[in-house]
């Protein structure tokens, strides 16, 4: 019995090896390529839906940037939704312009801030259409460089899948990531790279976390989305907010930083976003 198994096992193994080599050379390419092609097409459709769709362009009187729709709330008005957009404070703060009024009684110029508002431009990537909405700032934090905008629409707009805390804890150096943003004020476009560093700390009793990423970003990418794949879906893990520069202001686009969603949750949780 022992001698039989010792003879059968090597024969079986050799047969398996030959069969494997034979299929890898001949039969598999056509069938597997066809299957591979279908899977690839599906995966690209998923990427477009989950990463391009939720990213919007934020416009102010003085600047432009990106934002990511992370929540959709049904309103009491029939058929309209309130959408919440996560972006950077350094974009939304440019909505403020200042005028100077002369106060003749005290003999001084008084600086008067005027809120000129923000707009959100939503892109329909299939129809190549755009729609502009007026948005209000519902929360902002200059220290974390984060802001939340809201706008109302009767359209169904894709919302980003937010990574859970478990997923965020799992983000490691060398993980593949995509950055999506309105680079140079264009429509949302993706770039691909890896996580190059994960930095965390505690300042002013606030726990924060940043990701370094090689996914190229440039002016206009701020406030967009940094996405990572989990189980075939693409989840928002961070907000690209700055990029390294040389002393002569040449952007080092592969040395970007994104605020982790883990940090962004502090703003979302602490500022009690209006859901009216």
Partner 1 sequence: MLSRTNFLVSILLLCLSTVASYASDADTKRREMLHTSVYVGTETGDGSGTLIGKTDTGMNGVFRYSVLTNEHVTKGRFVSDPKSPTGRVDKECTVWTFDHVNGTYEAWPASVIAENKEVDIALLAFNSSEVLSIAKFATQDMLDRIGIFDEVFAIGCNLKDDFPGPTIGIISLISTERMGEVDVIVYSNTAQLVPGASGGGLFKEHDGHYYLVGIPFRLDTMRGNHLVPHLAEAISLSAVKNLIHKNAVILP
Q: Among candidates 26, 101, 86, which has minimal Cα distance to 54?
A: 86
In 3-state terms, what secondary structure has residue 22? helix
8 A C-beta contact, residue 176 and residue 145: no
Query: Considering beta carbons, is residue 21 or 244 the nearer one to partner 1?
Result: 21
In angstroms, the Cα distances linking 216 to 134, 191, 195, 196 are: 29, 6, 11, 12
Residue 111: both structure tokens together? 């600086």
Shortest distance, position 101 Cβ to partner 1, whole Å: 33
Provide, rounded to whole angstroms, the least separation between the CB of residue 76 and partner 1.
37
CB of 99 to partner 1, least distance (A): 27
Nearer to partner 1, 53 or 59 (CB): 53
Least distance from partner 1 to the Cβ atom of residue 53, Å: 11
Give, as one character, the DSSP assignment of residue 88.
-
Closer by beta carbon to partner 1, 11 or else 106? 11
Q: Which is nearer to partner 1, 153 or 218 (CB)?
A: 218
147: which 2 tokens? Answer: 């802001």
Binding site for partner 1 (CB under 8 A): 5-6, 9-10, 13-14, 16-17, 20-21, 24, 29, 33, 37, 41, 44, 47-48, 51-52, 125, 178, 183-184, 186-187, 189-192, 216, 218-219, 249-251, 253-254
Phi/psi of residue 83, each to 5°? -110, 135
Give the nearer residue to partner 1 in terms of CB position, either 152 or 187: 187
The two most distant CA atoms of the chain are separated, in Å, by 111
Q: Give the number of other Cβ atoms within 10 Å of residue 143's Cβ.
A: 11
Nearest distance in Å: CB 176, partner 1: 11
């Amino acid at each position: 019995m022992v001698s039989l198994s010792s003879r059968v096992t090597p024969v079986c193994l050799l047969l398996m090896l030959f069969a494997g080599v034979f299929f890898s050379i001949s039969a598999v390419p056509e069938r597997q390529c066809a299957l591979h092609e279908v899977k690839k097409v599906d995966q690209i459709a998923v990427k477009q839906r989950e990463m391009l769709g939720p990213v919007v362009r934020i416009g102010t009187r003085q600047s432009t940037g990106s934002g990511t729709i992370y929540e959709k709330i049904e309103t009491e008005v029939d058929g309209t939704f309130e959408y919440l957009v996560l972006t950077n404070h350094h974009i939304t703060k440019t909505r403020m312009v200042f005028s100077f009024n002369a106060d003749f009684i005290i003999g001084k110029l008084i600086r008067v801030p005027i809120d000129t508002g923000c707009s959100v431009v939503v892109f329909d990537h299939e129809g190549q259409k755009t729609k502009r909405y007026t948005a209000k700032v519902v929360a902002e934090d200059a220290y974390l460089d984060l802001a939340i905008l809201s706008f109302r629409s009767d359209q169904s707009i894709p919302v980003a899948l937010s990574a859970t805390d478990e997923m965020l804890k799992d983000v490691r150096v060398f993980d593949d990531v995509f950055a999506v943003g309105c680079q140079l004020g264009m429509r949302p476009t993706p770039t691909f790279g890896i996580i190059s560093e994960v930095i965390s700390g505690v300042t002013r009793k606030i726990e924060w976390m940043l990701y370094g990423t090689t996914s190229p970003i440039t002016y206009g990418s701020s406030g967009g989305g940094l996405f990572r794949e989990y189980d075939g879906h693409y989840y928002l893990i961070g907000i690209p907010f700055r990029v390294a520069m040389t002393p002569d202001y040449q952007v080092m686009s592969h040395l970007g930083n994104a605020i982790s969603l883990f940090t962004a949750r502090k703003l979302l949780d602490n500022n009690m976003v209006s859901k009216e």
